[in-house]
Amino acid sequence: MVEEIEEVGIDLQGKIYVRPARTSFDLIYRAAMEVHWDGSRRQLQSPVPRAWTHEQWFSQILAAAVDEYGIRLKLTPDTAWVNVPDELRAHLQATST
């Protein structure tokens, strides 16, 4: 199953997040990949980056969705970008096709 990503952003703590269009990922923690679901914001979130880059955490979020739910999250031309530098956005778009 494929689901569109409504929004990708970086919050004030530096965590990258992905907001899927429809699905709630309440049990994503079972994937044991350090990805968290914030139900109030409807976001899959990384921890505050330590050794990994935002690119690596974005890939980890997508992998956790596939691993635990069998859902491939995909960027679209309508995906909103919040507080994501242009260079990072371009990289994520290029590597997520």
Q: What is the pTM of this model?
A: 0.94
**Contact status, residue 91 vs residue 55, Cβ threshold 8 Å:** yes
- Phi and psi torsions of 25, nearest 5°: -110, 55
Tokens for 1? 């199953």
Q: What pLDDT is recorded for position 97?
A: 61
Number of domain units in the chain: 1
Q: With contact defined as beta carbons under 8 Å apart, do 80 and 7 qualify? A: yes
Where the chain has pLDDT below 50, the residues are none
Query: What CATH number did the domain enclosing 19 receive?
Result: 2.20.20.40
pLDDT at residue 50, as a whole number: 86
Domain that holds residue 10: 2-95
